Structure 1
């Protein structure tokens, strides 16, 4: 079994499952049966934290997760999110009190549950004080509709302000060998305040597995085609990173993806990554990484092979980048 960790006061398995890709972002939604089977297999392997959001697949991902956990609710720590909205196809954030409540009620209906275990503010609304957003969230906790609160892709200052209104249980932000921006300010604040950290895309959107060698092999609607790190020029430089990682992984008899994921797992007992997959095969590979022990020498060699400043390209194009780190 993979053991447990604590996000604030919330006990979860040491690794969770990101469900977004079952419904959007990485190609056509093609096999809900396999996605449901993947959720069931995750529970069999001891995974407890399942992560979704109201905007994944325009709500269909919550419905899918809801079907998958029917009859198994007591084995699941269910996380979802609100606050990302689209206007004419452009992503922005909304955090007013009315939207908080409306979003929570809709998510409860789609998930088919009477409470959400961990409810995240997905993105921070620059036009609404975080105090208003978290005041509304605290009311949902008081009503029993939500158990714990989290925030995603927020700045250190915003995390402090939210925590002053109601305890932040978890921060969800991107963290991997090729995305380390939260390490300087955000991680220290989380640890000061006792906030757990839930890294999404701990495998660099699949890139660190070594399975992607060019964008032409990605589905036409795959979001990675529009990300700078997958762009011509940047991609070739980033493939050198994966090759270095692959060589180290071979020495330990694991895959490059497992080594990259084990590095994230090694960041602390308050870190619970949520690698996403819609296939049981990859789920099992990911879960195995949760028990892979790395020595100090292993970690030093990994970080030397994949230095933080070696990655070519920004995380997001400008239109999406403006919604993170607020």
Structure 2
């Protein structure tokens, strides 16, 4: 019997998810070597039994292996208990990585994800990054066809600009926008979050713990494996880490006063942004998963929120959010539809 977690509505088309989801990326990619499959399946099943129903993956994680893992975890009646999200957009050719959003790739990527996940339908299908060479109307037009064919239920975008979101939403309602939002990643509050709320689009916050920083501070960083991509991030570099540790210690002090862990406090701050926000913290450990769920019970007063926001105010963090040249393509614009010449 699954535990009862609060549920929220994502978007205006009928999708409901648990108020907290589970990001599955780190089980297979980027954060060190892939974790043992059996343990990760056990973790996903534990999450579902604990009331988490929103699972997030992508064809880029692995690549491809994370979708296979999630698919295996959903055997034995688990599929009916979850809202499954995956993504497309990265095209991998050896070490060459491009962003592709043309109709042919959209359709092929969806078919491939359905096979790897071994499901008949994807609940929420995101464009992982925006292809700046293809009008967003063309990409979403193909996604709309996939909805009509029953291969996907809802459409999402990730790291799109406000104008791109508007143009996409005019073709077919966008259910969710996925973006990085945490105590130290707040740029989205200026334009992206307001446009989502204006249009009735749900918000899915990835890396709500600052890629794990708010769970352990510099100690976490020092214990990362040599293969962990987070070592490349400027905020985790030695020249910035000592300064940022002061920020973590202030969060830690407030957490002690609130009777919770630093990660629960940082995650509770994201939860308190609104009932249209679903953070998807990732983890590979059941203890951390339980800790994250505990954030839903942390109540923050306006004074607590104000104190947290002053701790993590603009300029309080040292170092850029992402490495130079990192594959983010944030706030990407696309050409006008009139410029599109199908091949």
TM-score range, shorter chain: over 0.9
- Alpha-carbon contact 1:244-1:306 (below 8 Å) kept: no
Q: 2:35 maps to what in 1?
A: 30
Q: Which residue of the partner structure matches residue 273 of structure 1?
A: 279
What residue number does 1:2 align with?
5
Aligned to 2:309: 303
What is aligned with 2:167?
Answer: 161
Task: Give matches, 1:91-170, under 5 Å.
Answer: 91-170=97-176
Tell me whether 1:84 sits opposite 2:71 in the alignment.
no
**Structure 2: how far apart are the matches of 1:282 and 1:202?**
14
Q: Superposed, which structure 2 residues align to 1:33-72 within 5 Å?
A: 33-70=38-75, 71-72=77-78
Partner Cα distance (1:178, 1:189) in 2: 21
Q: Per-residue deviation at 1:214?
A: 6.8
Q: Does 2:223 align with 1:220?
A: no
Provide structure 1 residue ranges, at least 5 long, that are not aligned to the other structure: none
Partner secondary structure for residue 78 of structure 1 = strand
SS class of match (1:288): helix
Q: Is the 8 A contact 2:215 2:263 kept in 1?
A: yes
Contact 1:177–1:308 (CA<8 Å) still a contact in 2?
A: no
Q: Which runs of 5+ in 2 are unaligned?
A: 333-343
Render the CA deviation track for 1:230-266: whole Å, top value 9, x for unaligned.
1121111111110000000000111100000000000
Structure 1 residue matching 2:156: 3-state secondary structure? strand
Contact map agreement 1:179 1:308 (CA 8 A) in 2 = no
Q: Equivalent residue for 1:200?
A: 206
The partner residue of 1:188 within 190, 194, 198 is 194
Q: Provide the aligned length of Structure 1 versus Structure 2.
A: 326
Deviation at 1:17, TM superposition (A): 0.3
The alignment partner of 1:283 has SS state of: helix
The CA RMSD over aligned residues, in Å, is 1.3
What is the deviation of 1:215?
4.4
User: 1:236 aligns to what SS in structure 2?
Assistant: helix
Residue 232 of structure 2 is aligned to residue 229 of structure 1:
no
Indicate if the aligned counterparts of 2:260 and 2:298 stay in contact, CA closer than 8 A: no
Q: More displaced, 105-114 or 220-229?
A: 220-229
The superposition leaves residues 32-58 of structure 1 with CA deviations (integer Å, 9 ceiling, x where unpaired) of 222111111111111110000001011
Residues 145-165 of structure 1, C-alpha deviation per residue, up to 9 Å, x if partnerless? 000000001110100011011
Give the distance between the partners of 1:103 and 1:186, measured in 2 at CA.
Answer: 26
Q: Quick one: which of 64, 69, 73 aligns to 2:79?
A: 73
Structure 1 stretch displaced more, 297-306 or 16-25: 297-306
Deviations 1:17-72 (A, max 9, x none): 00000001111113222211111111111111000000101110000000001121
Is the CA contact 2:218–2:241 (under 8 Å) kept in the aligned structure 1? no
Contact 2:156 2:175 in 1 (8 A): yes
Q: Which runs of 4+ in 1 moved over 4 A?
A: none
Q: Which residue of 1 aligns with 2:338?
A: none
SS in 2 for 1:272: strand
Structure-2 change in CA distance of 1:283 and 1:215 (3 Å): closer
